[in-house]
Each structure stands twice: as structure tokens, then as C-alpha cells.
Structure 1
Amino acid sequence: MSKILTLLLLALLVYYWWRSQQIKDKAYQAVLTRCYQLDVELLDSNIALVKQGLIKDKNNRWHWQRDYQFEFTSTREHRYQGRVSMVGFHVVDLHLEPFHIN
């Protein structure tokens, strides 16, 4: 019985990791699209998970939210911060701090 529970736990962990990677890829694509639209460059070709947890929506339903942070530049001299929030595969917020326009 303990082997079955161990395998089940391992399967759940693998599923969580796999789904997290898919969500991160979706967030990364959203960030790339926004950077292209604003004519800025995503630095380091990376986004980093900075926070995750349960949140309530306006209908009092619970959802798992992940927040990713990234850096971008518009001038190639200054680094600016950005943040994208995901609930499942949906982008709920994508924010870039104010930046200089070339």
C-alpha cells in the first residue's frame, strides 16, 4: 500500500511540475508579445517565478495564481522591471514599469 501512495505522490509532483512549466511557457509568450508590441527588448530571455498562492476572485472562488518577474530595456542602457500574473493558463495582469522611449 505504501508503494502505491509513493507512486501516486510522485505522479502528482511530476504533474504539478509539468503543468507549471506549461503555464510558465504561456506567460513567457505573453511577455514576448507585449515586448514586441511596445518595441522593447526582453532581457536575459527569461521570466522568474516570484510568488504563488491561492487567491479569491470576485465570485468568491479560489484559484492558484503565479506571479513572474522579468527585466526589459528600451534604450539598451537601463533595465526596467515587469511582472506577469497567471491564473491557470490565463494572463490576469501584465505590467511594465514606466520606461524611456527611444
Structure 2
Amino acid sequence: MSSVIILMCLAAVAVIWWKAKEAQERALKAARAYCKNLGLQLLDECVVQGHWHFRRGDSSFLVVERIYQFEFTSTGYERYVGEVIMRGAKLVSVHVEPHVVQY
């Protein structure tokens, strides 16, 4: 009986890790697309998970809302911070801080 409980706990941890990795990959894809559309350069080609909490999703069930941060540049000299908000596997929004626009 105890081995079944241990296996269930390991399976739950694996599913949680898998879902977190999937959300991070989607957040990176969203950051890349956002930067490309605005003519910005995504730096380091990564997003870092900031914090997370539970929110109500579209179907009124609790889902994990994760906030990822990334760095970008518009001029090649300064670094600016942006964030991607994911609710479950769904993209909620992408925000960037005010930055210099180069023509």
C-alpha cells in the first residue's frame, strides 16, 4: 500500500514539473514573438519564472498563474525587463517596461 502512495506522489510531481516546463516554453515563445513584432531583441533567449499563485480560470476552476520575466533591448546598449503572464497553459499578457525607441 505504501509503495502505491509513493508512486502516486512521484507521478504527481512529474506531472507538475511537466506542466511547468510546458508553460515556460510557451512563455518563451510569446516573448520571442512579442519582441519580434516590436523590433526588439530578446536577450539571453530565456524567460525566468518570477512568482506564481492560484487564480480562477475561464471555467471558474483554480489554475496556476505564473509570471515570467525576460530581458530585451531596443538599442543594443540598455537592458530592459518585460514579463509574460500565463494562466495555466494560456497566455494572458505580455508587458514591457518603457524603453528607448530607435528609428
Which residue does the alignment assign to 2:80?
Answer: 80
Kindly provide the CA deviation profile for residues 19-65 of structure 1, in whole angstroms up to 9, marking residues without a partner as x: 11111111110110000000001111110001111124688653210
CA distance in 2, matches of 1:25, 1:58: 21
CA distance in 1, matches of 2:4, 2:63: 29
Identity, % of aligned positions: 32
Equivalenced residue count is 102
Which residue does the alignment assign to 1:27?
Answer: 27
**TM-score normalized with structure 1 length:** 0.92
The question of whether the paired residues in 1 share the 8 Å contact of 2:57 and 2:87 is answered with: no
Q: Residue 29 of structure 1: SS of its match in structure 2? A: helix
Q: Residue 46 of structure 1: SS of its match in structure 2? A: strand
Shift of 1:90: 1.1
CA distance in 1, matches of 2:59, 2:23: 23
Structure 2 unmatched runs, 5+: none
CA distance in 2, matches of 1:66, 1:75: 29
Higher percent of residues as strand: 2
CA distance in 2, matches of 1:35, 1:75: 13
Which residue does the alignment assign to 1:11?
Answer: 11
Residues 94 and 8 of structure 1: CA distance in aligned 2, closer, same or farther (over 3 Å): same
Computed over aligned residues only, the root mean square deviation of the Cα atoms, in angstroms, reads 1.5
